[in-house]
A and B are shown apart, each in its own frame.
Chain A
Amino acid sequence: MARYKLVVIGASAGGLTAIEKLLAPLPKDFGLPIVIVQHISPDSENYMVTLLNNNLALRVKEADEKEVVKPGTVYIAPPNFHVFIEEDLSITLSVEERVNFSRPSIDVLFETAAISIGNQVVGIVLTGGNQDGAMGLKMIKDRGGLTIVQSAEEAQVAIMPSIAIKTSHPDYVLTLSQISDLLLRVAGDFNPM
């Protein structure tokens, strides 16, 4: 049985391009569900869904309330809602306060994933200009999940990766294409070193 059940990704400034690059190599039948928080303005339409759908082999959709996430599918947090991961891999959406000035917040996604499925989650922090995601990634690490941060040199905005690296001491600091490779291995039940 594969060790991991879910990939969670957080990105902010520069995130869309990075996410597209990261996920492009993943095949349609990629073995894990992927849930993404990309910081966006509260009123924006979720154009990301359309854009990624056109450019990726994976299916991309907005995360729905109480929906159970499935492999081969990418779920994008809706504007103005936090996303919680439940133990049965279903999603709960929340209207509560912003965290790190953000709703959706990466920390909230990561924290609930860590709390609910702990060592079965892969957490990834990408480019961005704030500190969201760092604490959440630490929680994933503390609970035995796999933690990855985009290398600050490669990131379009280095702040978020840098803070995440300092706060959580992730298992891997990698470029986007290296992260794609690692994801393919992890989903293929390969034990990362």
Chain B
Amino acid sequence: MKTPSPDEINKIELDLLLEAVYKGYGFDFRNYSKAHILRRLTYFQNVNGLQSFSQVQDLILHNKSKMKELLGELSIKVTEMFRDPAFYLTLRKRVIPLLKTYPFPKIWIAGCSTGEEVYSMAILLREEGLLKRTQIFATDFNEKAIEKAKKGVYSIDKIKHYTVNYQKAGGKNSFSDYYRVIDNRVEIDPGLRQNVQFALHNLVSDAKFETVNMISCRNVLIYFNKELQDRVINLFTDSLINGGYLVLGMKESLLFSSKSGLYKTIDNDRKIFQKKLLGEK
């Protein structure tokens, strides 16, 4: 009988743990970045005083609240309003004018985290006179994040930074028009979410959400391996009308997608792509 090396044992334990998370709770992390998953799991293991991933598996299978904790550990929710202002500026100039040509455009913001990106988009649409006739679907697989997104209440510390971002993004008004201060928090103008539908949706395992004119999925794909990036881009391709826009995070691309030929690049630095029209070269 052979003896598994410590490395082999680790790998087996990791695979079994991810399998358990998937079979037990339906969350499929098997094709996420291994470095990301291992780093977070190692941290979770240490914080809980456990000796191995097998022990982590035992814990989360029998203890749902621990599973929730682990889920929080594995999902990176970091976000901000008007992240990468240059991206929003380009969106305003190059994409919004075309979205305006549709009577009722639909936008899907996938992996919207706690909502900052959604409200940024809504502000931009309002300033472009498009918000009232646009339907926004904002989804994430993290329940806590979606709950927070629906409330639209954020800490006041970040407002200075967001104000700068907003201005750099070509904001036409004063950023303070869009929130009011309550104690040391800000409440985003609830009018901005009138046409926003927040929903739980898992990009790995759930089916196509809606057919839309634009999809924004920013800083989500970086946590997936190449195969999973490809699968998710397929899902997006199925969800976009011909001529629809796909926008990604600054470090993301269509490089690993078998469907990249179906897109043309509107702005490579800002990661703005357009699904070609039928027959378009």
Pair B223/A94 contact, Cβ less than 8 Å: yes
Pair A95/B34 contact, Cβ less than 8 Å: no
Q: A96-B78, A97-B78 are in contact. Are A66 and B36 (CB under 8 A)?
A: no
Kindly identify which residue among A78, A92, A111 contacts B33, using a CB–CB cutoff of 8 Å. A92
Inside 8 A of B78's CB, which chain A residues have their CB?
95-97
Pair A66/B76 contact, Cβ less than 8 Å: no
Cα–Cα distance between A94 and B33 once the two chains are bound (Å): 10
Chain A: interface residue count, which band? 20 to 34
A:79-101 near B, CB below 8 Å: 81, 84-87, 92-97
Pair B35/A92 contact, Cβ less than 8 Å: yes
Inside 8 A of B33's CB, which chain A residues have their CB?
84, 86, 92
Interface status of B38 (Cβ within 8 A of chain A): yes
Inside 8 A of B249's CB, which chain A residues have their CB?
95
Residue of B36, B255, B256 most packed against chain A (CB within 10 A) = B36
Inside 8 A of A94's CB, which chain B residues have their CB?
36, 76, 222-223
Cα–Cα distance between A25 and B217 once the two chains are bound (Å): 43
Inside 8 A of B260's CB, which chain A residues have their CB?
none
Cα–Cα distance between A70 and B256 once the two chains are bound (Å): 19
Pair B251/A93 contact, Cβ less than 8 Å: yes
Interface status of A102 (Cβ within 8 A of chain B): no
Report A12 CB to chain B, min CB distance, Å. Answer: 21
Report B182 CB to chain A, min CB distance, Å. Answer: 25
The 0/1 profile, CB within 8 Å of A marked 1, for residues 185-229 of chain B is 000000000000000000000000000000000010011001001
Cα–Cα distance between A85 and B223 once the two chains are bound (Å): 12
Q: A84-B35, A96-B76, A96-B78 are in contact. Are A65 and B223 (CB under 8 A)?
A: no
Inside 8 A of A97's CB, which chain B residues have their CB?
78
Pair A66/B223 contact, Cβ less than 8 Å: no
Interface status of B239 (Cβ within 8 A of chain A): no
Q: A94-B222, A95-B222 are in contact. Are A84 and B252 (CB under 8 A)?
A: no
Q: A66-B256, A92-B223, A95-B78 are in contact. Are A81 and B251 (CB under 8 A)?
A: yes
Pair A78/B251 contact, Cβ less than 8 Å: yes
Report B165 CB to chain A, min CB distance, Å. Answer: 11
Task: Using CB atoms and an 8 Å cutoff, list the residues of chain B in contact with chain A.
Answer: 7, 33-36, 38-39, 42, 76, 78, 219, 222-223, 226, 229, 249, 251-253, 255-256
Instruction: Offer 8 A-B interface pairs, CB within 8 angstroms, sorted by A.
Output: A81-B251, A84-B35, A84-B39, A87-B35, A92-B35, A92-B36, A115-B39, A116-B34
Task: Using CB atoms and an 8 Å cutoff, list the residues of chain A in contact with chain B.
Answer: 64-66, 78, 81, 84-87, 92-97, 108, 111-112, 115-116, 118
